[in-house]
A and B are shown apart, each in its own frame.
Chain A
Amino acid sequence: MSRHILSAIQNIGHRAIESIWRLGHASRFFVLVLLKSGTSLRRFNLVIRELYFTGVLSLIIIVVSGLFVGMVLGLQGYETLQKYGSESAVGTLVALSLVRELGPVVAALLFASRAGSAITAEIGLMKATEQLAAMGMMAVDPVARVVAPRFWAGVISMPFLAAIFSVMGVYGGYLVTVVFIGVDEGTYWSQMQSAVDFRFDILNGFIKSCFFGVAVTAIAVFEGYDAPPTAEGVSGATTRTVVTSSLVILGLDFILTAFMFRGVS
């Protein structure tokens, strides 16, 4: 019995040490990517190519999701607000929910599933098929040539995608409340305009999406580069990217919100 308990404790300790070791390894890799970003900045066409794959190809899912989230927000917001005779505030509700929270967070979650998983799978497969080793043998550093451009493309794409998500959401809300339900158009826009603050709402939302962009892409490139070079290894790494990124996004969102909106009414 005592041997089982001892082995369970040992197991927990082993897992804890392994997790901390992996976190350290990931941090070192992150610093390495930053140090080797010179090539990406000098040859920006490498980043532009990746911007197409991570940013442009994620547009469809971001646009459609943003539109539907905005429509649902408009519908739910109207239903609740009309009970208190405040349906004119529905524009404010939609805009603030999107710009402060849902825009950056949901866009980042979608970005992790769409682009993050693709980055991990691509880098992992390049490793499994010895393409990264071949690059190293050709005296080309794979971190500088493959990883860094993907990292920067992700970091640049994320705030734009979050902004597009919010804009589509606002139009989704407009479509449901103004066009379908019949809330006054002038009220929808003017209430929104007066309630949304550039510094507290839009800028903070933008800063959040920048943090999420760094977190998701850093996790994606690390998981890909660190993946065991087998089919099973790459599939496991892709799953870990989505799961870890999602948890990190939600955790980071709480911390950032706590710092950003202290004392803001």
Chain B
Amino acid sequence: MVSKALIEINGLSFSYDTRPILNGIDMSMRRGQVVAIMGGSGSGKTTLLRLISGAIQPTAGHVKFAGEVVHELSRDALFKLRRKMGMLFQFGALFTDLSVFDNVAFQMREHTDLPESMIRDLVLMKLHAVGLRGAHHLMPNELSGGMARRVALARSIALDPMLIMYDEPFTGLDPISLSVIGNLIRRLSNSLGITSIVVTHDVQESLKIVDYVYFIADGVIAAQGTPKEVRESVAPFVHQFVHGEEDGPVPFHYPAQAYPQDLGLEDNRV
């Protein structure tokens, strides 16, 4: 199915003070597509999510979500737009003073006038979708890391958003939980037509579920392609990243003066 782009990113740049983080990023994401954004730590992946959600303003370029330029919106319009977005934070970010049920019901109670009986049914349906209907009475501190992330996922689909952003959803999970979360991301996109952006380091797991991959390095898109293209790529950066090689375009050694010089062997006998 070919559908028009839900998110268009053009010439997007961002700097913290004078330190450039992103420099002229162009991306496009269709409805129902699962896109992975990969890159080393501190490469600006999470910053990109914050720019898409309008939490920070770009220094140049723009993000267009459903035809609207995000950073030009007023605060009210931005909050209205955010009801169409969901975000899964790295460790779930569940409200610790609310039960699993109340966490999932949170947005429904805040943004709709639905009767409590309907909210109950909807919450149980959302929790059923992530396999945790039976855990609705638990408090967040009673959940494992994987369960907390599944509840957070149920919470982020509470109002049937058009987009879900996942900030490193696989971090610190055991192989079973990791696979469950990966499959849920894919299934939700297929069944609900949700566009998903997955910021991740986990190359192997994400290549199984995504439609397209962007690699970010030094603030620019270093490479992009489908999982098949990425696996077969001979580009040095992509090859190093996908195969987890120790040294390559991303060097093992932090820049330093010559080793013998540091050891005081300036005549280079070693």
What is the CB-to-nearest-CB distance from A124 to chain B, in angstroms, rounded to a whole number?
13
Q: Which residues of B contact A125 (CB under 8 A)?
A: 96
A24 interface residue, CB < 8 Å from B? no
Across the interface, name the chain A residue whose C-beta is closest to B78.
A139
Q: Does A137 make an interface contact (CB < 8 A)?
A: yes
Interface stretch (choices B22-30, B87-95, B121-129, B257-265): B87-95
A residues near B55, Cβ cutoff 8 Å: 133, 136-137
| Binary CB contact string for chain A from 113 to 147 against chain B (1 if under 8 A, 0 otherwise) | 00000000000011001110111111111000100
- Name the distance in Å between B155's Cβ and chain A's nearest Cβ: 8
Task: Please determine whether B107 and A134 come into contact, CB atoms closer than 8 angstroms.
Answer: no
Q: In chain B, residues 70-94, which have Cβ atoms closer than 8 Å to a Cβ of chain A?
A: 79-80, 82-83, 85-87, 89-91, 93-94
- B interface residues, tally (CB under 8 Å): 21
Chain A contacts for B243, CB-based, 8 A:
none
Interface size range of chain A in the complex: 10 to 19
Contacts A139-B111, A140-B107, A140-B110 given; does A134 touch B89 at CB 8 Å: yes
Residues B107 and A131 in contact, CB atoms below 8 Å apart: no
Complex: chain A residue closest to B107, CB-CB: A138
Flag if B91 contacts A129 (CB, 8 Å). Answer: yes
Residues of A within 8 A of B94 (CB): 131
Give min CB distance, A243 to chain B, whole Å: 26
Residues of B within 8 A of A134 (CB): 87, 89, 93, 95, 152
User: Any chain A CB within 8 A of the CB of B106?
Assistant: yes
B82–A138 touching, CB < 8 Å: yes
Rounded to whole angstroms, the CA-CA distance of A264 and B93 in the bound complex is 56
Answer whether residue B53 sits at the interface, using C-beta atoms and an 8 A cutoff: yes
| Chain B residues with CB under 8 A of A137 | 53, 55, 82, 85-87
Let me know if A133 and B93 touch, CB within 8 A: yes
A residues in contact with B152, CB < 8 Å: 134
Contact between chains at B96 and A129 (CB < 8 Å): yes
When C-beta atoms are compared, the residue in chain B nearest to A140 turns out to be B110
Q: Which residues of B contact A126 (CB under 8 A)?
A: 95-96
Q: Which of A85-132 contact B (CB under 8 A)?
A: 125-126, 129-131
Give Cα A163 to B79, complex, Å. 42
Name the distance in Å between B108's Cβ and chain A's nearest Cβ: 10
Give Cα distance in the complex from A145 to B110, angstroms. Answer: 10
Shortest distance in angstroms between B178's beta carbon and chain A's nearest beta carbon? Answer: 20
Contact residue among B80, B85, B96, B110 (Cβ-Cβ distance under 8 Å from A131): B96
The docked-state distance in angstroms from the alpha carbon of A126 to that of B140 is: 13
Q: How far is the CA of A130 from the CA of B96 in the complex (A)?
A: 11
Convert A130-170 into 0s and 1s, putting 1 for each residue whose CB lies closer than 8 angstroms to a CB of B: 11011111111100010000000000000000000000000
18 contacts between A and B (CB under 8 A): A129-B93, A130-B90, A130-B93, A133-B89, A134-B87, A134-B95, A136-B55, A138-B82, A138-B83, A138-B106, A139-B79, A139-B80, A139-B82, A139-B107, A139-B111, A140-B110, A141-B79, A145-B110
User: Given contacts A130-B89, A131-B94, A136-B55, could you give 15 more A-B pairs where the C-beta distance is less than 8 Å?
Assistant: A125-B96, A131-B93, A134-B89, A134-B93, A135-B95, A136-B82, A137-B53, A137-B55, A137-B85, A137-B86, A138-B83, A138-B106, A139-B80, A139-B82, A145-B110
